[in-house]
Amino acid sequence: SYFEKKAKIWQKKYSRRRHLVKLLVLQDRNKRVLCPRSLESFTNWQKAQKSKAKCQAKVANQRRDYLHKLTTHLVKQYDVIVIEDLKTKNLQKNHHLAKSIANASWRMFRQMLEYKCEWYGKKLIAVDPKNTSRICSKC
């Protein structure tokens, strides 16, 4: 999305500015300047930090909002919801899918489903992932 791209751009700016600031602070320390500068005295670095944080917060809020809407829709529509009890840590070892799996935030999705099922009096069942992807039931 738009804010993910902005967050990525601001992350680069923040990292670059932080690196330069650290170099300048070290220079002041090595030259034994009377009034050495600290990290807080560099406003460009602070601006980048704030902008990065705003963009990242916006992305997190968008994801959380989507999860709330999705879980509410599912709980209101179905009386029994069955989910697979997957270990996301194992799934994230696949580097092609790791980012999309992390962005989906399955743990938060499951927690939301759990408490909303309690609120609405619905049933949530977590199934063991063993043999769930097999086509034949006798294999």
Q: Do residues 44 and 99 share a domain?
A: no
Summarize pLDDT for 87-114 with one digit per residue, the tens: 777 777 777 777 777 777 888 888 999 9
Domain that holds residue 15: 1-62
Establish if 72 belongs to a structural domain. Answer: no
- The pLDDT > 70 percentage for the chain reads 98
Q: What is the dihedral of CA 121, 122, 128, 134, to 10 degrees?
A: 180
Q: Contact at 8 Å (CB) between 38 and 25?
A: yes
- Within-domain flag for 94: yes
pLDDT band at 85 (very low <50, low <70, confident <90, very high): confident
Do 35 and 92 sit in the same domain of this protein? no
Mean pLDDT of all residues in 7-33: 91
Residues pairing with 84 in the sheet = 127
Which of 62, 86, 104 is the last residue in one of the domains?
A: 62
Q: Is the same domain home to 54 and 103? A: no
The per-residue pLDDT for 21 is: 92
Q: How far is CA 48 from CA 21, 41, 63, 98, 127, in A?
A: 12, 14, 23, 27, 45
Residues 95 and 54 in one domain: no
Residue 120 lies in a domain: yes
pLDDT computed for residue 137 by the predictor: 66
Q: Give me the number of domains the chain comprises.
A: 2
Judge if 84 and 46 occupy the same domain: no
Same domain, 82 and 58: no
Same domain, 58 and 5: yes
**When comparing pLDDT for 71 and 136, which is higher?**
71
DSSP state of 120: H
pLDDT tens per residue across span 1-17: 899 899 999 999 999 99
Could you tell me if 114 and 57 lie in one domain? no
What pTM does this model have?
0.73
